[in-house]
Amino acid sequence: MKKQMIIMKRFSLSLLMIVFITMAGCGNTASQSREKNNKANENKAVKEKALPEEKATPKSQLVEIDGQKFKITTPQGEIIGVLYNETPIHRDNFIKLINEGFYDGLLFHRVIQGFMIQGGDPESKGSPSGAPLGSGGPGYTLQAEISPQFIHKKGALAAARTGDQVNPRRESSGSQFYIVQGKPVAQEELDNKGIYTEEQMAIYKKVGGTPMLDAQYTVFGEVIEGLDVIDKIAAVQKDRSDRPINNVVMKIELINE
């Protein structure tokens, strides 16, 4: 029997939501400053009214990413991402497969809410309902390009692989990938790993992700639009193998600007 391509054994984590509360101080109540205080309160009310929009999750956690963009079209909507130039082996392979039309008609065959959505198995194309998936590939693996600068934040694009016991060099599948959904992460979990910058910790706490996968799998891109589509796919009804009951078919194309 073929061993299923895995990215991680499922397990549950208890994550704490951290809430930041900002308090404003009060000024003097002298009659001469009453008019100024009224104006200040008006300005404060305007700022508070605009706060939800200002705190909206950005499309990307990086100011600007210089790399090849791609679009994944699914029944749940479109996902737009960018490939990192710092992971050239995975970048070039992904571009090659897209140009060949390799991914068109394949499925997101494994979805776990609060964790990730996975696809890229060529055996998923036209597969009957309930058929086991996850062991297929293009016939080759890729050298790992694991870097501490790229974390498993929500929207991270990473390569699936077989486990360490049969793959000690952590080589990636030639075609299977996953996109992180994850959850907000507690500070305690990040402190225990002790490998993150302040910026990375802030992203994990605000946007979420799966830090348990860091330093184990190659992250080679990220989603810059369509994080809500990831949520929709992760929430679909699925069978015992985490395969969606109704096929989530993908089409991937490059975006040339």
H helix or E strand, kind and range, residue 83: strand 77-83
Could you tell me the CA-to-CA distances from 55 to 47, 126, 138, 181 in Å, in that order?
12, 42, 42, 19
Beta strands at 116-119 and 141-142: parallel, antiparallel or unpaired: unpaired
| Residue type (1 letter), 146 | I
The answer to whether position 105 is within a domain reads yes
The answer to whether position 242 is within a domain reads yes
Q: Which residues of 43-60 are buried (b: 16+ CB within 10 A; e: fewer)?
A: eeeeeeeeeeeeeeeeeb
d(Cα 190, Cα 18) in Å, to the nearest integer?
13
The answer to whether position 4 is within a domain reads no
- What's 125's domain CATH number? 2.40.100.10
Is 82 strand, coil or helix?
strand
The answer to whether position 241 is within a domain reads yes
User: Domain containing 123: what range?
Assistant: 69-255
Would you state the structure tokens that stand for residue 194, as one six-digit string?
A: 């002790």
- Single pTM value for the model: 0.77
The answer to whether position 123 is within a domain reads yes
Q: What is the CB neighbour count within 10 angstroms for residue 76?
A: 19
> How many distinct structural domains can be found in the chain?
1
According to the model, what pLDDT value does residue 65 have?
78
According to the model, what pLDDT value does residue 144 have?
98
According to the model, what pLDDT value does residue 43 have?
46
The answer to whether position 240 is within a domain reads yes
Q: Give pLDDT tens digits along the chain (257 positions).
A: 444 555 543 333 333 232 222 222 323 333 344 444 444 444 444 333 333 333 333 344 444 678 999 999 999 999 999 999 999 999 999 999 999 999 999 999 999 999 999 999 999 999 999 899 999 999 999 999 999 999 999 999 999 999 999 999 999 999 999 999 999 999 998 998 888 999 999 999 999 999 999 999 999 999 999 999 999 999 999 999 999 999 999 999 999 97
The answer to whether position 5 is within a domain reads no
The answer to whether position 249 is within a domain reads yes
According to the model, what pLDDT value does residue 103 have?
98
d(Cα 187, Cα 19) in Å, to the nearest integer?
12
